[in-house]
Amino acid sequence: MTGGTIKELVVISGKGGTGKTSLAASFAVLADRPVIADCDVDAADLHLVLSPRIRERHDFRSGHEAVIRRDDCTGCGTCLTHCRFDAVRTNGRIPGEWRFSIDPVSCEGCGVCVRFCPEQAIDFPERLCGEWMISETRRGPMVHARLGVAAGNCGKLVSLVRREARRIAERRNRPFIIVDGPPGIGCPVIASVTGATLVLVVTEPTVSGEHDLERVLSLTRHFDIPAAVCVNKWDLNPEMSDRIEEKGRRAGARIAGRVRYDPSVTLAQMQERAVVETQSPCVEDIQRIWAALAHIGARPGSRARQGGTSMRIAIPLTNGRLSLHFGHCECFALLDVDPDEQTILGREDVWAPPHQPGLLPPWLAGCGATVVLAGGMGQRAQALFAEQGIRVVVGAMVETPEKIVSDYLAGTLRSGENVCDHGDSHDGRGGEHGHQRT
């Protein structure tokens, strides 16, 4: 991630057990001076991996609950008559009168019994719903919480955890907040993702995983939150993994990468270690995903919406430098720039989609790109980009994306021969040499 503001990555899933906590813990290890937040308050387990040392404990109170004062209750039964949640209990007739009590699990805190009690014998205190904590881990400060049994308002507790994590990040000048979010699409998930820099949705290659991904991405689209997708245990069903990633792209999400099935992940959990702190084979997969997420910049067009001038430049990469053959690149660097000030505002790296004729021009347009700087590209492919309103500059030399863009903005970009300008064999339909995937 780049830039001077605090970046917040929230890891969520459509259901529990997809591996999001293992990924969140690994990101906390890979990130530079992070603040960690466990917002899965209903079933928090990030502490099992990061072994936090609790420094502060605070009660979490939310809502109210009714409590009958037995000494003042006359046993009239008004509370029993008005309660619609079956929360009023009776212990039977005792020496000529009914004795009532409130079941705290069933009580919804509506206050109707308090309002209609003729003897005003029902108290209405604030409900103790759980606790939240500030701890220190081997990777930095961590804010986490524990919701009480059958306690409500977990969305409010999630918001509190995120707020405290941001306060710590600002006070300690830490650039990242890594959030282990809850599963599903309900209130706690909404509280976890609202206002986040990026949401990573972790799913599995199953029918339910495909369905859950659609629901979660519908949520992120509704709240206009940038989303990326990671398929865990992808090699158990490669065909389904391909289908899930394609659905993610169509839903406007970026594909962060895949993690192979690795039984040693369980061993890492038993050792109270993040996966990337072990020699597990999937460590390389997780590191690649973090690299794809690590350059989160401004959203495409965000400065334009604010009235500024901006453009987004796409550069094909191989091993972190420009790929001479456009269709062979590993990923794309997307750099947001201010052409008037000749400055780079942010950078985001996204993995290139699988080979499919005609895919790259609309795909890059969907990523917000307005300019492509490439080593080579066929004439037909350039025409397809022009149809998307994307300007193509070919012949760029093998350099880092920042160097290429800086030279382009300054008008000093060195260019050579268009290495893919070989006529109709590279017409954007997947030519015979395989140089084009557009």
Are 407 and 430 contacting, i.e. CB atoms less than 8 angstroms apart?
Answer: no
- DSSP structural state of residue 105: T
Whether the per-residue pLDDT at 304 is higher than 60: the answer is: no
Residue 356: predicted pLDDT? 65
* Structural domain spans, the chain: 7-55+129-293, 66-124, 302-426
What stretch of H or E contains 389?
A: none
Residue 295: both structure tokens together: 């350059």
CA distance 65 to 319: 60
Are 354 and 438 contacting, i.e. CB atoms less than 8 angstroms apart?
Answer: no
pLDDT-based confidence at residue 418 (cuts at 50, 70, 90): low
CA distance 381 to 84: 67
CA distance 185 to 13: 9
Residue range 151-159: average pLDDT? Answer: 83
Strands of 34-38's sheet, edge to edge? 53-64, 126-137, 140-147, 34-38, 176-183, 7-13, 198-203, 227-232, 254-259
pLDDT-based confidence at residue 90 (cuts at 50, 70, 90): confident
CATH number for the region 7-55+129-293 comes to: 3.40.50.300
End-to-end CA distance of the chain: 28
Residue 125: predicted pLDDT? 94
Instruction: Mark residue 368 as left, alpha or beta (left: phi above 0; alpha: psi -120 to 50; beta: remaining).
Output: left
Residue range 379-405: average pLDDT? Answer: 89
State CA 122 to chain mean position distance.
44
Whether the per-residue pLDDT at 110 is higher than 90: the answer is: yes
Residue range 234-261: average pLDDT? Answer: 90
Give CA angle at 260 (256, 261), nearest 5°.
Answer: 140
- The alpha carbon torsion through 358, 363, 369, 370 (nearest 10 deg) reads 40
pLDDT digits (tens, 9 = 90+) for 205-232: 999 999 999 999 999 988 888 899 999 9
Which CATH entry fits the domain spanning 66-124: 2.40.50.140, 3.40.50.300, 3.40.50.720, 3.30.70.20? 3.30.70.20
Residue 144: predicted pLDDT? 96
Question: Between these two residues, 168 and 311, which has the higher pLDDT value?
Answer: 168
Whether the per-residue pLDDT at 96 is higher than 70: the answer is: no
E strand intervals along 184-310: 198-203, 227-232, 254-259
Q: At the topology level of CATH, where does 302-426 sit? A: Nucleotidyltransferase; domain 5 (3.30.420)
Question: Strands 7-13, 198-203: parallel, antiparallel or unpaired by DSSP?
Answer: parallel
pLDDT digits (tens, 9 = 90+) for 27-40: 999 998 999 999 99
Residue 298: predicted pLDDT? 37
85 vs 30, 119, 420, CA distance in Å?
Answer: 48, 21, 72
Give CA angle at 234 (230, 239), nearest 5°.
Answer: 110
User: Which one, of 241, 254, 252, lies nearest residue 204 by Cα?
Assistant: 241
Residue range 344-351: average pLDDT? Answer: 83
The rounded mean pLDDT for the chain is 85
Whether the per-residue pLDDT at 78 is higher than 70: the answer is: yes
Residue range 398-407: average pLDDT? Answer: 91
Q: 311 - beta bridge partners?
A: 337
% of the chain residues with pLDDT over 70: 87
- The alpha carbon torsion through 300, 301, 303, 305 (nearest 10 deg) reads -140
